[in-house]
């Protein structure tokens, strides 16, 4: 290569290098999260209709409303039993009817069969970067017919669905013992390079009392075992956790304890989850459980500076209530 060619190549890379440098500096200096607001959305046992509220989910609508969901379990705190979906809706950001009314449910048995599939807990994603731009990806765990993590894919905005990636348990379709490989409840997140990272509950503490992390490089078609990692920084008591990618930063929430569901904590990574910043935000030291995060996608200050978290919170046990937390990511500004 000539000297002139080398200079031209350097100049062609300069914008990318400047962008990376600016982002790294901004991320490393400015991210200092604090809790800006908190309110209880649901408290179990306050009405005769609901014994316990569990499994929180939060998301946003294109019009800027925040929607928080939970399972309202009528008779007990158990997974099996009568329940309905509870919804709280924030309209502080101008909304008409987005999220107010819903169409009737539609059975997908003819497309997916009748085997048991438990999505999430958490949210599905729509791919924004190649490959498979626009694809809907919903990941969850199987039970009864087979356990492990499985993803459902739709390339026509949810009209039709098919099975995609899978990460099966070992031994598969057989009773499990402690320390067996049993991928369980999970949250997929698309990174800015187009890959999908799936943060997974390590249900039997295989290899460590920490989170499993699987990667898909083909838009959710596969989760190669060669890409499976165990993140020892993300200590975990086997629980459903929250994950969110915002402006190149990966965020994670869970009860940060390897034995008990306590010490609810927010962590963040500046390098796609390869490592985590040592600083953390401890949101609640007491009993805490499942969680979910979201953020708004607009260009306003509110959209850029905040993320929103819902999590199970209690004083004696983690399932007493579900709390909403607004986190200011840049408290020094």
Domain boundaries, the chain: 38-94+239-333, 112-235
pLDDT of residue 14: 41
Q: Which of 182, 231, 312, 320 is catalytic?
A: 312
- Average pLDDT of the segment spanning 153-160: 96
With 50 as the cut, is the pLDDT of residue 291 above it?
A: yes
Q: How far apart are CA 4 and CA 64, in angstroms?
A: 50
Query: Cα(207)–Cα(86) distance, rounded to whole angstroms?
Result: 37
The residue ranking higher by pLDDT, 329 or 302, is 329
As a whole-number percent, the residues of the chain with pLDDT over 70 amount to: 87
- pLDDT at site 40: 96
Output the pLDDT for position 99.
62
Answer whether residue 4 shows pLDDT above 90. no
Here the tokens at position 15 are 């914008």
Range in 53-67, 71-85, 94-108, 216-230 the model is least confident about:
94-108
> How high is the pLDDT of residue 333?
66
Is residue 27 scored above 90 in pLDDT?
no
79 is catalytic: yes
pLDDT in tens, 250-280: 999 999 999 999 999 999 999 999 999 999 9
Question: Which residues does 98 contact at the CB level (< 8 Å), separation at least 6?
Answer: 61, 62, 63, 65
Cβ contacts of residue 317 below 8 Å, gap of 6+? 287
User: pLDDT at position 21, please?
Assistant: 40
Task: Write down the pLDDT at residue 146.
Answer: 73
290 catalytic? Reply is yes
pLDDT at 114: 83
- Predicted confidence at residue 110, as pLDDT, reads 93
Q: Residue 103 has what pLDDT?
A: 80
Kindly report, residue by residue over 174-233, the tens digit of the pLDDT: 989 999 999 999 999 999 999 999 999 999 999 999 999 999 999 999 999 999 999 999
Q: Place 143 in a pLDDT band, splitting at 50, 70 and 90.
A: low
The Cα–Cα gap between 215 and 287 comes to 30
Report the SS3 class of residue 310. strand
**Distance (Å, whole) CA 153 – CA 219:** 9
Tens of pLDDT, residues 302-315:
889 999 999 999 99
- Cα-to-chain-centroid distance, residue 191: 12
Q: What is the rounded distance in angstroms from the CA atom of residue 109 to the CA atom of residue 140?
A: 16
* pLDDT value, residue 237: 98
What is the rounded average pLDDT of the residues 276-300?
95
Q: Categorize the per-residue pLDDT at 2 as very low, low, confident or very high, splitting at 50, 70 and 90.
A: low
Over residues 34-70, the pLDDT tens digits come to 999 999 999 999 877 899 999 999 999 888 889 999 9
Which of 37, 79, 156, 302 is catalytic? The answer is: 79
- 2-11, 119-128, 133-142, 236-245: which range is least confident on average? 2-11
* Window from 101-115, 123-137, 176-190 with minimum mean pLDDT: 101-115
Task: Pick 163 or 18 by higher pLDDT.
Answer: 163
Query: Across all residues in the chain, what is the average pLDDT?
Result: 89
**Which pTM does this prediction carry?**
0.88
pLDDT confidence of residue 332 = 83
Annotated catalytic residue 312: yes
CA-based angle 290:295:296, to the nearest 5?
150
Per the residue annotation, which of 53, 206, 251, 290 is the catalytic one? 290
């Amino acid at each position: 290569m000539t000297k002139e060619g080398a200079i031209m190549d350097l100049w062609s890379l300069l914008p990318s290098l400047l962008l990376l440098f600016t982002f790294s500096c901004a991320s490393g200096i400015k991210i200092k999260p604090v809790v800006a607001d908190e309110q209880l959305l649901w408290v179990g046992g306050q009405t005769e209709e609901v014994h316990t509220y569990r499994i929180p989910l939060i998301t946003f609508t294109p019009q800027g409303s925040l929607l928080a969901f939970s399972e309202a379990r009528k008779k007990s705190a158990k997974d099996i039993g009568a329940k309905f979906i509870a919804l709280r809706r924030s309209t502080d950001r101008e909304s008409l009817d987005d999220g107010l009314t819903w169409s009737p449910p539609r059975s997908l048995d003819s497309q997916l069969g009748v085997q048991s599939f438990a999505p999430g807990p958490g949210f599905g994603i729509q791919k924004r970067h190649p490959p498979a731009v626009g694809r809907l990806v919903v990941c969850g765990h199987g039970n009864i017919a087979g356990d492990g993590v499985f993803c459902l894919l739709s390339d026509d905005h949810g009209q039709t669905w098919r099975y995609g990636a899978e990460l099966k348990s070992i031994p598969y379709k057989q009773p499990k013992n402690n320390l067996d490989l049993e991928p369980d409840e999970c949250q997929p997140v698309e990174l800015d390079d187009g890959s999908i990272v799936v943060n997974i509950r390590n249900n039997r503490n295989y290899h460590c009392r920490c989170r499993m992390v699987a990667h898909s490089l083909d838009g959710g078609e596969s989760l190669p075992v060669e890409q499976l990692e165990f993140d020892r920084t993300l200590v975990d008591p086997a629980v459903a956790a929250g994950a969110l990618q915002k402006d190149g930063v990966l965020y994670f929430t869970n009860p940060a304890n390897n034995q008990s569901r306590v010490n609810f904590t927010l962590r963040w990574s500046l390098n796609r989850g390869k490592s985590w910043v040592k600083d953390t935000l401890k949101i609640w030291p007491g009993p805490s459980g499942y969680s979910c995060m979201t953020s708004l996608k607009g260009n306003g200050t509110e959209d850029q500076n905040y993320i929103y978290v819902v999590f199970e919170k209690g004083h004696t046990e983690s399932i007493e209530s579900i709390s909403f937390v607004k986190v200011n990511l840049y408290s020094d500004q």
